[in-house]
Amino acid sequence: MGIYLSSPKTEKFSEDGENDRLRYGLSSMQGWRATMEDAHAAYPDLDDSTSFFGVYDGHGGKVVAKFCAKFLHKQVLKHEAYEAGDIGSSVQRAFFRMDEMMRGQRGWRELAVLGDKINKFTGMIEGLIWSPRSSDGNDQPDDWAFEEGPHSDFSGPTSGSTACVAIIRKNQLIVANAGDSRCVISRKGQAYNLSRDHKPDLEAEKERILKAGGFIHAGRVNGSLNLARAIGDMEFKQNKFLPAEKQIVTANPDINTVELCDDDDFIVIACDGIWDCMSSQQLVDFIHEQLHSESKLSVVCERVLDRCLAPSTAGGEGCDNMTMIIVQFKKPIQASSSGSDQSSQSRLTDTDSKSEES
């Protein structure tokens, strides 16, 4: 089986939800790709005052994206900075924690299950006897201690995933991104990029890659990976003399925090399969147009996926897996002060101009 199917898989997984502050809709579709490697997370009530949404675009396999969808939001809650109200620090730590958790025997077992490599009849994973306590669906204690035994020296997966997450707490929006998935906000119908696509030819990315001993060929890291930040991809994180944020490829996310205000309509988080086909403003315009006649957000997402799907694989664009989430703010959000709103507007403009340059 090649990279593309002979005809696209257009069946979609869609979902809607809401609480008193917001409502969301999402949809994902395999499309022309031979396998579906995207994953997502949507938790409108992560805790009493916080909502969490994330898109994870896997490459080289689906397991890292699925691992992030299962664990990343839980790790945000576990960091002490979260309790102190420093969500930016807690989500940054959660990104790095994904790489740490995927190493060793327990990480290897989790990835094996998420990759469907367990034999349901023998209980074996590639020769390792499966422990029932690891497959009963209940979470194990989250210490993720080093375990002796087969694959205790597992250095982590060679596949990887982007991670673009949006956390909403009261009138604050925190966006964390590593890779080329993207989060965009519609403010009075104007699109502002809240994340930057981490491509290898960006100056800051290029400088880190070269300093860490890597190279860029044909726009790809070491001639193979077409993005500069990702969770997983452990082959690019082997320099023992450098911290995690300075490796050839890093999971270190850009963090952007903005104060939401009455002018904010919705945010969109989507993988590059969408952004390859539509600009940020084109997508925001399309969503506004659809919302005039369709109230169900997942249906709007489905229409975007159908619009982006290529008629054939000849051009490349529109042939990727596609996943997107729309989060619509339900009622006017009072900014904490007019000063913070002005600061937010300035930050939105600056972030958007950087993203457009990339």
Give me the CATH number covering residue 234: 3.60.40.10
Please give the Cα distance from 267 to 309 (Å, whole number): 22
Please give the Cα distance from 222 to 235 (Å, whole number): 11
Does the pLDDT of residue 341 top 50, yes or no? no
Q: What percent of the chain has pLDDT over 70?
A: 82
Residue type, 66: K
Residue 269 covered by a domain: yes
Outline where DSSP puts E strands in the chain.
4-18, 22-33, 38-47, 50-59, 124-125, 128-129, 160-161, 163-169, 172-178, 182-187, 190-193, 216-217, 220-221, 231-232, 254-259, 264-270, 322-329
Residue 176 covered by a domain: yes
Q: Which of 50-64, 216-230, 324-338 has the lowest mean pLDDT?
A: 324-338
Q: Which two tokens stand for residue 18?
A: 């809401």
Please give the Cα distance from 22 to 281 (Å, whole number): 22
Residue 59 covered by a domain: yes
Q: Which domain holds residue 350?
A: 4-103+155-357
Please give the Cα distance from 35 to 1 (Å, whole number): 10
The DSSP code for 178 is: E
Q: How many CA atoms lie within 13 A of 172 on its CB side?
A: 13
Closest CA to 260 of 345, 191, 357: 345
Q: What's the pTM?
A: 0.88
Residue 113 covered by a domain: no
Does the pLDDT of residue 142 top 70, yes or no? no
In the chain, the number of structural domains is: 1
Q: Which of 114-128, 186-200, 275-289 has the lowest mean pLDDT?
A: 114-128
Please give the Cα distance from 244 to 131 (Å, whole number): 31
Does the pLDDT of residue 30 top 70, yes or no? yes
| Alpha helices (H) along the chain | 63-78, 80-83, 87-101, 104-114, 203-211, 272-275, 280-291, 297-308, 338-357
Check residue 274 and give its pLDDT.
97
Please give the Cα distance from 63 to 93 (Å, whole number): 20
Residue 132 covered by a domain: no
Q: Which two tokens stand for residue 167?
A: 């956390």
Q: Which of 72-76, 84-88, 112-116, 269-273 has the lowest mean pLDDT?
A: 112-116
Residue 122 covered by a domain: no
Q: Which of 140-149, 156-165, 182-191, 261-270 has the lowest mean pLDDT?
A: 140-149
Check residue 228 and give its pLDDT.
97
Residue type, 269: I
Check residue 117 and give its pLDDT.
62
More confident residue, 57 or 85: 57
Please give the Cα distance from 249 to 97 (Å, whole number): 15
Instruction: Answer whether 13's CB lies under 8 Å from 297's CB.
Output: no
Residue 137 covered by a domain: no
Residue 19 covered by a domain: yes
Task: Report the sign of the C-alpha dihedral through residues 212, 218, 223, 229, in that order.
Answer: positive
